[in-house]
Amino acid sequence: MTDEVVTHAHTRTIRVPGLAKPVALITLDNGFDHTKPNTFGRAGLASLDAAFDAAVQADPAAIAVTGKPFIFAVGADLTGVGQVTDRETALEIGKQGHDVFRKFTDSKVPTFAFVNGAVMGGGLELALSCHYRTIASNVAAIALPECFLGLFPGWGGTQLLPNLIGADRAVTVIIENALNQNKMLKPKQALELGIADVLLDSPDYFEQSLLWLADVVNGKTTVQRPEIDRGEAWDAAIARARAIVEGKTHGAAPGPAKAVELLELARHNDLDRGYAAETEALADVVMSDELRAGLYSFNLVQKRARRPAGAPDKSLARPVTKVGIVGAGLMASQMALLFARRLHVPVVLTDIDQARVDKGVGYVHTEVDKLQGKKRISPDEANRVKALVSGSLDKAAFADADFVIEAVFEDLEVKRQVFAEVEEHVSAECVLATNTSSLSITDMAAKLRHPERVVGFHFFNPVAVMPLLEIIRADRTDDATLATAFKVGKDLKKSSVLVKDAPAFVVNRLLTRFLGEITAALDEGTPFDVADHALDPLGLPMTPMILLQLVGPAVGLHVAEIMHNAFPDRFGVSENMKRFVEAGKTAVWQWDAQGNQTLDPEVAALWQAGDSPSTSQQLLDRTLAALADEVRRMLDEGVVAEAQDIDLCLILGAGWPFWLGGITPYLDRSGVSERVTGKRFLEPGVASVPR
């Protein structure tokens, strides 16, 4: 691959006390610091191949492989995959990885992986290919994340891991964790699962690893491996894997489905057969549009999210030494905790009575105690965060604040009044931010003396978890305010996207449009179970009715009304939904003790449906057409810079899966884009196989 950052493998010999022969140590290093991890492309694999041969030539007592500081290796060079244009090349890459890694497995000399830092994907498969594994106690990330991308571990992972730790545990690592927002393992968990043979403290990890290696080679230490149940336990694991994949992807991503097939094949523990099947399956998936969309998503999250399109020069940002939050409800309290933990500056909450203020500050203290209880923060840090967060009934407490954000009731007049009151106390340079999910920032700032310092700063719930921050530029927002907002967003470790001041911005506008189509179909007489599962082929993280329950029907209705006022021809307001909210209902479905889902009879009674039901396919077509239409309108209006920003928002703000590429790659490859709007959103090959 022409632009591969080559990870070179360097071989040297080391004398270890107690061993007559030296240890051949292979070190993986791409020449950069830990911010650019080791990866494997064609040239990197060739270097590792040569390094192994050199190690054998040294006639060592053992061969060990390790990484540069803080990094072992994090898998395949994904940029290279995007350049593959034919199946034959995909087969060659799969076979090359297997051939090189298998040398460590078939070696007559004992092989060891010294996992000194982050290890993921192909890096973990290399470690699994070795006979023994030590791991440092400070390793930050351990995972096989391929299924999250729409791929599967294709260099031995599906065959080696279940035969090392058992099928059920392998399903957890390869499928369940990957499809659960790419959950990582900690070193202790890797040890408990049996992935690592020994966990060693980090200060002298390398020296301890060599001494442990010597004890294994000399027979002083014997590594016990579990007996693998290849009968009923394997059957149960495969059944669990299938259920997870179906529940998470609904068949929309070929990679996880292939992973299940390959895990079943691993029961035979025949590497010749298993690796050949992995290589063929890898070629199939690499040449699929779903994987290319997954890689496009990965690139958006890893690169575009870090360099937001349209953001002003960061040198314009003003320092933020104190934060004010108007409101002390749940959203405001979540923000207070985040600001205090990430910015390390004083944060003051205000509200209309002392009880609310006390509840907000109390929430922060309780959450800090939970974090300390889970050992995610130290006692000292817990005390510092608690000390940074205070409450007041008087907005004069904001006098020395540089950044004040409101999180009060979603009503334009209420928010205008709040900002007018805050402006009486703060400096002319203090940024006034709003967490509104749908209201006009320009209208909110219109009557202020300094409207240029008002900016939208829209978090998603839960604040600590959801990575997206929509930063909205109003008509008069100046560059210094905007730059400060982006700097704060980065310091909060959020991915920020610049959005024009348009109704409901990006995520809520698109979610409201597609939920509107589902609700309209229900009003017309489509059965609830049909409507709620019509979008299953997309593999979304939850069904529309579960999403509505999560958002809150009252909130959903409020946003629908705002959008109806802005665009009455495309956004309706359901009378049934009004009755639903007025009745105090929060969910369409109810579940019995066994987890069986049924329609709430009270909802069925209040819903006045028509006699024009849609089929699942009709509703899917209709909803996709609506999404394509809305995306095109948003791009024409300049709501964001490019389609990539809409996709990034849906991935990070709504949890839409990587294999969809957000939404525009799916609309392109399904033909909906051209049918509805007359053209594609992305050039062919950007998030699809080049043809």
Write the single-letter amino acid at 654: A
Q: Locate tokens 């009252």: which residue?
A: 554
Integer angstrom CA distances of residue 138 from 117, 118, 184, 638: 7, 9, 14, 45
Q: How far apart are the first and last CA of the chain?
A: 18
- CA nearest neighbour of 155 among 66, 45, 54: 45
Q: Give yes or no for a contact between 270 and 292, defined as CB atoms under 8 angstroms apart.
A: no
Q: What is the bridge-based pairing of β-strands 589-591 and 597-599?
A: antiparallel
CB-based contact 72:117 (threshold 8 Å): yes
Residue labelled with tokens 């359901």: 574
- Distance, in Å, from the CA atom of 667 to the CA atom of 515, rounded to the nearest integer, reads 17
What residues contact residue 568 under an 8 Å CB cut-off, 6+ apart?
none
DSSP 8-state code for residue 172: I
Residues marked active site are found at 125, 146
Residue 452 identity: E
* Peptide bond connecting 537 to the previous residue in cis, omega within 30 degrees of 0: no
262 neighbors 158 (Cβ within 8 angstroms): yes
Q: What tokens appear for 108 in the block?
A: 């007559």
**Which residues are 7's β-sheet partners?**
none
- Spell out the residues 6+ positions from residue 480 whose beta carbon is closer than 8 angstroms to its own: 312, 316, 317, 318, 429
In this structure, are residues 647 and 297 in contact, taking their beta carbons and an 8 Å threshold?
A: yes
Helix (H) or strand (E) holding 442: helix 441-445
Cα pseudo-dihedral 102, 106, 110, 113, rounded to 10: 10
